[in-house]
């Protein structure tokens, strides 16, 4: 039996790549960089499946150009780069990687919170640059966490994992989410639900954990940024376009908020020079899920999903839109 032909658009680390090489006729697009649109279309031709990265856009034009594709596996939990509606029309299942990167991303969000509040990166640079000549009572004063209020926007798996980390540091938890948690879960977190605008006004720290949709694009715009306290810290490990980046830069530049910790950007990998020049930000290169364990399990989920599909079974890691279709056909 011939192995399914699979395109992996960007090379993974050895153990993860080996998973797919064992059971698929695998082609790796490029090990060092993302494929251009032209390269992606060329290499996807004749393939049964494609394993995409967040920077790979799968839209109607792409699907029209490569009609042989039977399934798409996205190496991320978010899938805003995939036109799922177009895939549903063409009966092309879409896989993603939920659950396995929850703790890694929550860790990264909390690390950003501590680093910005306590000015850790700034302090590191201060020492490295030879500026530490004596202890001073007011040297690099930061903000304490205990007793402060954190506002969590998006209380799904990652938002809840972030909340658990906040409990240990004595933070009071407010949250806003599309769906309110059951009362017993709110009680377990000691969390208070609040409308978005009320949360932004009250919170000392705000952390974003929402998917990128038409509704969440620029959810944090200038008007809402204006609601934040001057001492507020904004953390984003979700998706860059959830924040109006230009408006945020102005707030930070004018020191109208304390600071921000960002792992994602509006037009990544482009990070504006104006943002990079600011001292009141901590910037990461989209490494929220970058632990060996999480990144391997992401690959394993996609491998298992592809194996199930090509064995005539229903993959467990279909995106929600596809899961609803499968359920409706039972």
Indicate which residues carry an active-site annotation.
239, 268, 286
Burial class (CB in 10 A: 0-12, 13-18, 19+), 91: exposed
Sign of the torsion angle spanned by Cα atoms 130, 135, 139, 140: positive
The contacts of residue 21 (CB under 8 Å, 6+ apart) are none
Measuring CA to CA, which residue among 14, 88, 108, 5 is closest to residue 51?
5
Going by their DSSP bridges, the two strands 172-176 and 94-95 should be labelled as unpaired
**Residue written as token pair 């899920």:** 289
- Cα→Cα distances 100→11, 193, 211, 247, Å: 20, 26, 16, 33
CA gap 111, 117 in Å, rounded = 10
SS3 of 65, please?
Answer: helix
CA gap 96, 76 in Å, rounded = 6
- Cα→Cα distances 146→143, 150, 168, 187, 203, Å: 9, 10, 9, 19, 13
Do 257 and 235 contact (CB within 8 A), yes or no?
no
| Secondary structure E strands in 112-226 | 149-153, 172-176, 191-193, 205-208
Q: Report how far Cα 294 is from the mean position of its chain's Cα atoms.
A: 13
The encoded tokens of residue 6 equal: 């699979």
């Amino acid at each position: 039996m011939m192995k399914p032909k699979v395109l992996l658009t960007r090379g993974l680390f050895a153990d993860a790549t080996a998973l797919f090489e064992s059971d698929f006729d695998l082609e790796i697009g490029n090990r060092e960089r993302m494929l251009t649109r032209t390269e992606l279309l060329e290499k996807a031709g004749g393939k049964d499946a494609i394993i995409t990265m967040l920077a790979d856009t799968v839209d109607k034009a792409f699907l029209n150009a490569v009609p042989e594709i039977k399934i798409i596996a996205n190496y991320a939990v978010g899938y805003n780069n995939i036109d799922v509606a177009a895939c549903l029309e063409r009966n092309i299942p879409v896989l993603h990687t939920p659950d396995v990167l929850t703790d890694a991303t929550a860790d990264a969000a909390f690390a950003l919170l501590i680093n910005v509040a306590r000015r850790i990166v700034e302090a590191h640079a201060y020492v490295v640059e030879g500026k530490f000549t004596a202890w001073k009572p007011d040297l690099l004063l930061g903000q304490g966490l205990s007793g402060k209020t954190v506002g969590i926007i998006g209380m799904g798996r990652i938002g809840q994992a972030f909340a658990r980390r906040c409990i240990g540091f004595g933070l009071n938890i407010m949250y806003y989410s599309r769906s309110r948690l059951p009362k017993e879960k709110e009680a377990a977190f000691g969390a208070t639900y609040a409308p978005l605008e009320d949360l932004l006004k009250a919170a000392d720290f705000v952390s974003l954990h929402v998917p990128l949709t038409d509704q969440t694009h620029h959810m944090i715009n200038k008007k809402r940024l204006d609601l934040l306290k001057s001492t507020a810290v904004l953390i984003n490990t979700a998706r860059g376009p959830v924040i109006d980046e230009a408006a945020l830069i102005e707030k930070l530049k004018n020191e109208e908020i304390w600071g921000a910790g960002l792992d994602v950007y509006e037009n990544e990998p482009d990070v504006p020079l104006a943002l990079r020049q600011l001292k009141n930000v901590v910037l990461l290169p989209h490494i929220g899920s970058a632990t060996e364990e999480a990144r391997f399990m992401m690959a394993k989920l996609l491998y298992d999903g592809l194996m199930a599909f090509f064995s005539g079974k229903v993959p467990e890691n279909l995106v929600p839109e596809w899961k609803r279709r499968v359920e409706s056909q039972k």
